[in-house]
Amino acid sequence: MSSLLDIQDLKVCYGGIVALNGISFSVEEGQIVTLIGANGAGKSTTLRSIMGLVPITNGTIMYNGEKINGMDTRRIVQMGLVLVPEGRRVFPNLSTLENLKIGGYLQDKASEQRNLERVYDLFPRLKERYWQLAGTLSGGEQQMLAVGRALMANPKMIMMDEPSLGLAPLVVRDIFSIIKKVNETGVTVLLIEQNANVALRTAHQGYVMETGNITMSGPGMELLDNEEVKYAYLGKSR
Ligand SMILES: Nc1ncnc2c1ncn2[C@@H]1O[C@H](COP(=O)(O)OP(=O)(O)OP(=O)(O)O)[C@@H](O)[C@H]1O
Ligand SMILES: [Mg+2]
């Protein structure tokens, strides 16, 4: 089976600093895959380099059978691969609806309406709050908006950078149940998380990153049970 996303030997440097030291991993179509790791491990760099937002030093990034490294970000989005960035980055002075429409700007009017209805189905809260300035939404609502905005591009695959960051446990639970629902509608998910517990419970497949390298991989539930992972990422004592 060929993967939807296949990364081989990806190396990224910032100046003289090596952020990704030749990592390889893949995401099968239809799955939820997570990359977990501590601060500075290189998680965001991985997503940003896949989107063409930082130049890569070495390696290949294959998406849907095409090599996308070196491609324009806009073209990558048109191919159905989108990013929900770290820290949500909604436009605070625009309404919920205006933010959603920005996510669909590459679509025609008819598909914009279809996508909007789909987003409102997943997030009834966003429908209720369509008029509200995004900057006045709660943290959890802003995260929903960031995911909804990405879905407005009608993606085949969505990548999310730490969707649980700064949210209360109950809200994190809501966000992850929505991520599962999105996946059940056929969207492949690559999820970056420091919250290893919830990420590994949700994911079909997981990878552990440490300072620019992938050090472990396996089915989410297996990693959750791994002694090293328990000690380093789940706070268990030896
Ligand atoms: N624009 C940049 N210029 C220089 N160094 C950078 C830049 N962006 C990231 N780095 C460095 O690259 C390394 C990996 O950073 P990255 O943001 O990918 O980590 P991360 O795993 O997402 O961490 P966090 O969990 O804190 O978000 C870090 O050492 C960071 O300081
Ligand atoms: Mg990060």
pLDDT at 231: 84
What region, left, alpha or beta, does residue 151 occupy, with left being phi > 0 and alpha being psi -120 to 50 degrees?
alpha
Q: How far apart are the first and last CA of the chain?
A: 38
Atom of ligand 1 nearest to the CA of 43: 21
Ligand 1 midpoint to CA 213 (Å): 13
Residue owning the nearest CA to atom 29 of ligand 1: 40
Return the SS3 of 183.
helix
- Residue ranges of the domains in the chain? 1-79+190-238
Chain center to CA of 152: 15
Cβ–ligand 1 contact at 169 (below 6 Å): no
The bound ligand whose nearest atom lies closest to the alpha carbon of 43 is 1
Nearest ligand by distance to the CA of 209:
1
What's the pLDDT at 229?
86
Ligand 1 center to 45 CA (angstroms): 6
Q: How far is the CA of 5 from the centre of ligand 2 (A)?
A: 20
Q: For residue 1, what pLDDT is reported?
A: 54
Q: Is the CB of 43 under 6 A from ligand 1?
A: yes
How many Cα atoms sit within 13 Å of 52 on the Cβ side?
15
Q: Is 39 in the pocket of ligand 1 (CB under 6 A)?
A: yes
Q: From residue 31, how far is each of 11, 12, 91, 152, 231 by CA, in Å?
A: 25, 26, 30, 20, 26
Is the CB of residue 45 below 6 angstroms from any atom belonging to ligand 1?
Answer: yes
Q: How far apart are CA 84 and CA 57, in angstroms?
A: 24
- Pick the atom of ligand 1 nearest to 54's CA: 1
User: Would the CB of 237 count as within 6 Å of ligand 1?
Assistant: no
Domain boundaries 1-79+190-238, CATH class:
alpha beta
Beta bridge mates, 206: 34, 218
Residue nearest to atom 26 of ligand 1 (CA): 39
For atom 1 of ligand 1, which residue has the closest CA? 14
* pLDDT, block means (10 residues), the chain with 238 residues: 91 95 97 94 96 96 96 94 90 95 85 92 93 93 93 95 90 91 95 92 95 95 90 78
Work out which ligand 1 atom sits closest to the CA atom of 48: 18
User: What CA–CA distance (Å, rounded) separates 117 from 213?
Assistant: 40
**What is the predicted pLDDT for the residue at 156?**
97
Give the whole-angstrom CA distance, residue 47 versus residue 159.
7
Ligand 1 atom, smallest distance to 37 CA: 21
Instruction: Determine the Cα–Cα distance for residues 153 and 77; give it in Å rounded to an integer.
Output: 8
- Out of 10, 23, 43, give the residue to mutate to test ligand 1, the one with the largest number of ligand atoms within 8 Å of its CB: 43
